[in-house]
Amino acid sequence: LDVTRRKDKKGYYFGPFLQRQQARKVFDYLIKTFALKLCKKKIDNGCLDFHIGVCAGVCRKDFDVEFYKQKIELVRQLLDNNLQDATKILQSEIDKASAQMLFERARNLHGYLQNIESILYTVRSLEKAKTNLVYSSEHIKSNIALLTKLKERLGLRRIPYTIDCFDISHLSGTFIVGSCIRFTDGRPDKQKFRRFQIKTLQDQNDYAALQEIVSRRYRDKSMLPDFIVIDGGKGQLNAVKDLVGDTEIVGLAKREETIIFPDNREIKLDIQKEEDRVLLELRDYTHHFAITYHRKKRTLLDKTEQGS
């Protein structure tokens, strides 16, 4: 893995990035996350970077070439924004490592699997140019033009100047939490972000959890936005569509990247369309926000249990 300005070797190339700094940030993040650095130091026991988890340890006798290749392939899928294939690769390699009793490799791969969505979100965030219309506060007028395109694309009654997106996060049905992200004029409105600890459920029930957080969010009707996106399919959408009055609401099915309407219409999102990317970015942002909160709650509980 390297950063380059020209294609003078065989291999896979990603980009171009509008700024070198963006490419460097993505590169540094992936090197540190997957310990991909290949240094030229000849230290039998591994260099300092190896012991802090950055260098791959190529100079060590126990350097695992196959594991390194697996990580490179995983990074390639992530740079292609291919979450589904990356997840399949990880699960397959975990199964192989376990069958071969390579438990340390399996443990490391499982760690990547647990954090894969967060890793992909970070890569996507670092890739964004300063000219990105969704997140740049310097392009409000352009953002409104983009939101007008979104209105026409989805057939909405009004321009969605304010958009809320909801997501639920849990681990095997435990520690259920929810999140709501608000975009105003096409950019994050962090003062109106909300996290929810589910109060009415003990067991996994995404539909009931969504009903709870949507009801709590809009207890004050003045909080209703122009448009609502639910991270989920028909079941999730049907669970909450009657809780938001006449506010327009859709579901965003993750696997197919499809918008689902209450009248059962569907629109397949096209990542090449900038108005469609608004919804994908919003969904990813919300999912990351929920996962971060879930991990925080899980970590606090683990510390409490260890101290008891």
In this predicted model, what pLDDT tens digit does every residue of 210-250 receive, in sequence order? 999 999 999 988 899 999 999 999 999 999 999 999 999 99
CB proximity list for 46: less than 8 A, separation 6 or greater? 55, 57, 59, 60
Cα–Cα distance for residue pair 169/198, rounded to 1 Å: 10
Closest listed residue to residue 200, CA positions, set 186, 211, 185: 211
Task: Report phi then psi at 180, rounded to 5.
Answer: -135, 125
Cα–Cα distance for residue pair 286/193, rounded to 1 Å: 9
What was the pLDDT predicted at 198?
Answer: 82
CA 220 to chain centre: 29
What was the pLDDT predicted at 266?
Answer: 95
Evaluate whether 251 touches 233 at the Cβ level (below 8 Å): yes
Predicted confidence (pLDDT) per residue in 84-129, tens digit: 777 777 788 888 878 878 777 788 777 777 666 666 666 666 555 4
CB proximity list for 69: less than 8 A, separation 6 or greater? none
**Which helix (H) or strand (E) is 195 found in, with range?**
strand 194-197
Which residue has 């994050």 as its token pair? Answer: 188
**Which helix (H) or strand (E) is 165 found in, with range?**
strand 162-171
| 3-class SS of residue 10 | coil
Cα–Cα distance for residue pair 62/45, rounded to 1 Å: 10
For the chain, residues with pLDDT lower than 50 are 18, 129-139, 305, 308
Beta strand 266-268 pairing with 258-260? antiparallel
Residue 186 burial by Cβ neighbours in a 10 Å radius (0-12, 13-18, 19+): buried
Domains of the chain: 20-126 (no CATH), 135-307 (3.30.420.340)
Cα–Cα distance for residue pair 98/214, rounded to 1 Å: 42
Cα–Cα distance for residue pair 64/66, rounded to 1 Å: 6
Cα–Cα distance for residue pair 257/35, rounded to 1 Å: 31
Give me the chain's average pLDDT, please: 78
